[in-house]
């Protein structure tokens, strides 16, 4: 074969295509699946926020009656909201002016330092603005809605945004409610003491570095 024939063969031949190594393909597939799974989880939690928020704000907590759980009807009373924006809404009158100012400052400092938004609603169901606070507070995935209501015994109820749910172990919220929200505590110390103690514990937890042992103690 002469040089001209060799050149003609090279021009007419299809380029050689190589398949990426199987291990790389699998790694790419695994990473893609992992990212897709996390995105789906985040999307699911985001969509679940509205349902969970409706439950928390309306205090649709399960109250066993003759073995049957009866859910409370959702409430939406925007007329009970303050005229100006506030991170603490006390329609139940649990907090003194001094306590409300301290909690408001703690919430502001926490948001400035961490980006997490804590919002406190003190109420006695059904005297509550209810779902109206969602728009009032622009609730999102980085928001904790803390509803203090003694209607069903434990005064501490929380709705946690999806981003915070990834950073804070869910056991923290149950331990917090068990420590400062039980009926013996708030009846002895007062509803105001339960609310203030819970706010300080949440602030302490959210300031801890995210890791396997963060928020392991309720301060």
- pLDDT, one tens digit per residue, over 49-58 is 444 454 555 5
Q: pTM of this prediction? A: 0.71
The predicted pLDDT at position 160 comes to: 94
Return the CA Rg of the chain. Answer: 27
- Which CATH architecture describes the domain 49-206? Roll (3.10)
Residue 64 — φ and ψ, nearest 5°? -65, 120
Residue 166: pLDDT above 50? yes
Binned at pLDDT 50, 70 and 90, residue 8 comes out as very low
Cβ 69 vs Cβ 62: under 8 Å: yes
Helix/strand number for the chain, H first, E second: 8, 6
User: If 0-12 CB within 10 Å is exposed, 13-18 middle and 19+ buried, where does residue 98 land?
Assistant: exposed
Q: Where are the alpha helices (DSSP H) in 115-211?
A: 132-136, 162-167, 170-180, 183-189, 191-206
Residue 61 — φ and ψ, nearest 5°? -80, 150
Cβ 107 vs Cβ 137: under 8 Å: no
- Domains of the chain: which residue ranges? 49-206
129: tokens are 């603005």
What's the rounded Cα separation, in Å, for the pair 47 and 156? Answer: 23
Of the listed ranges 75-79, 115-119, 144-148, 192-196, the one predicted with least confidence: 75-79
Strands (E), the chain: 63-65, 68-70, 88-90, 117-122, 143-148, 156-160
The predicted pLDDT at position 73 comes to: 61
Cβ 154 vs Cβ 181: under 8 Å: yes
The predicted pLDDT at position 152 comes to: 82
Residue 205 — φ and ψ, nearest 5°? -60, -50
The predicted pLDDT at position 72 comes to: 56
Q: Taking residues 172-192, what's their average pLDDT?
A: 96
- Percent share of the chain, pLDDT over 70: 66
Binned at pLDDT 50, 70 and 90, residue 101 comes out as very high
What's the rounded Cα separation, in Å, for the pair 162 and 142? Answer: 7
């Amino acid at each position: 074969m002469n040089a001209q024939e060799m050149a003609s063969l090279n021009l007419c031949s299809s380029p050689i295509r190589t398949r990426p190594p199987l291990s790389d393909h699998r790694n790419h597939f695994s990473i893609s699946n992992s990212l897709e799974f996390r995105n789906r989880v985040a999307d699911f939690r985001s969509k679940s926020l509205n349902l969970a928020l409706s439950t928390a704000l309306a205090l649709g907590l399960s109250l066993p009656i003759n073995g049957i759980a009866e859910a409370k009807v959702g409430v939406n009373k925007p007329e009970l909201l303050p005229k100006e924006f506030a991170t603490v809404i006390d329609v139940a009158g649990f907090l003194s002016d001094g306590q409300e100012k301290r909690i408001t400052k703690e919430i502001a400092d926490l948001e400035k330092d961490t980006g997490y938004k804590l919002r406190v609603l003190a109420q006695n169901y059904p005297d509550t603005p209810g779902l109206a606070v969602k728009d009032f507070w622009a609730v999102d995935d980085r928001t904790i809605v803390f509803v203090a209501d003694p209607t069903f015994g434990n005064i501490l109820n929380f709705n946690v945004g999806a981003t915070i749910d990834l950073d804070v172990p869910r056991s923290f919220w149950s331990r917090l409610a068990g420590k400062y929200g039980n009926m013996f505590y708030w009846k002895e110390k007062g509803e105001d003491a339960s609310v203030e103690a819970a706010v300080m514990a949440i602030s302490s937890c959210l300031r801890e570095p995210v890791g396997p042992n963060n928020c392991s103690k309720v301060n």
